Amino acid sequence: MLTCPQMAAAAAPAPGEGKLDWIRLASGEWLAGRLKYMRNEDIEFDSDKLDVLHLKWEDVIELRCSRVLVYAFTEQRLATGPATMRDSVIRVQEEGQVREFRSEELLSIIEGKGSELDLWSGNFSLGFVARTGNTDQLDYNSLGFVRRDGAISRVDLRYAGNFGELEGARSINNQLGSTRIDLFLSRNLFVTPFALELYSDEFQNVALRTSASAGAGVYVIKKKGLEWFLQVGGGYLSTRYRSVIPGEDIEDTGASIIPLISLEWEPVKDLKLNVDYNSNISIPDVEKLFHHFVALLTVGNLKIVDLNTSITWDHVTQPKSSDDGTLPSKDDLRTAFGIGIEF
């Protein structure tokens, strides 16, 4: 619903009254509807007449929410209840008292009485390449990503699997799974108290590589349509091989340093690029490096499914020979085209 500022101001109820949320834009226009969430400077607002809108937080100059929402501020402060914002001051009615905060201290807004499912989002994609004739080949990969956005926390779960057969014999078989928990200290600074990554690759002679770590990160850029953060962590790294030359150790263990770079870019609506890179640097033997890079380009707005293209690169600086003397290649580069769903 779009109305002139004078008419909307008269119609908008005080906090705790009415069923609609109201926001006023810098242009002076008011919107009535339901505020779904605010995170990373992005507001999702279900307008009473204009359906779901994505707006910039910097474009909102006044807010009237009659519903109970959770407001997360810097220094891990939370406030729950109906609220208003005017002149850059947010006032939350909580347990009969009014708490005031500066709008620039706001980190996120989530539904206070919504279901647990409202906090989860993610996507899943499947890609494949098939050839018949002189060469019979079938390769396919799957990518999965699930995220839980809390008021001051974020949980990420990721999975990538690549499988293939050539002339009836298995030629590709690797899987990567990871989980991480982030706690936001400010708009741009967060800590990761726990991260875990598991990796196996039959043809890299890796039975299981386990990395457990903790660290901290900072957003270099954090705005609507573009997020870029850097992180450094440290922890424990263990690599157990499928087989080794007699006399070699079947398992390597030790400390590691883990730098990570993540980029999410949406240059235009329904076109999204996700890029992630991380490496494991063994301590004290820094020459034992593991690199992982994945880029996923998604084209949306296709109703039920999305089209995507992914590029994955894995590199091992010192691969270990199997018991028959076979030395795996240092690099694996894969490109896949497929379809996906987002929720």
SS3 state of residue 105? helix
Cα separation, 245 vs 326, in Å, equals 9
Say which residue the tokens 């109201």 belong to: 22
CA of residue 247 relative to chain centroid, distance = 43
Q: Which residues pair with 106 in a beta bridge?
A: 73
Would you say 280 and 213 are in contact if contact means Cβ atoms under 8 Å apart?
no
Residues of the chain within CATH 2.40.160.40 domain(s) are: 118-342
The whole-model pTM stands at 0.74
Residue 149 token pair = 């956005």
Q: Strand 251-268 vs strand 271-283: parallel, antiparallel, or unpaired?
A: antiparallel
Render each residue's pLDDT in the chain as its tens digit; 343 residues. 334 333 344 455 555 456 788 999 988 888 889 888 887 778 888 887 777 888 888 889 999 988 888 898 887 788 888 999 999 999 999 888 999 999 888 888 887 665 677 678 888 888 876 666 666 778 888 889 999 887 788 899 999 998 888 877 888 899 999 999 999 887 788 999 999 999 999 999 999 999 999 999 999 988 778 889 999 999 999 999 999 999 888 998 999 999 999 999 989 878 999 999 999 998 888 778 899 999 999 998 776 788 888 888 999 998 989 988 889 999 888 888 888 888 7
- 118-342 under CATH 2.40.160.40, yes or no: yes
For 176, counting Cβ atoms within 10 Å of its Cβ (0-12 exposed, 13-18 middle, 19+ buried), the class is: buried
The beta strand positions in 49-119, using DSSP E, are: 51-56, 60-73, 77-86, 89-94, 97-102, 106-111
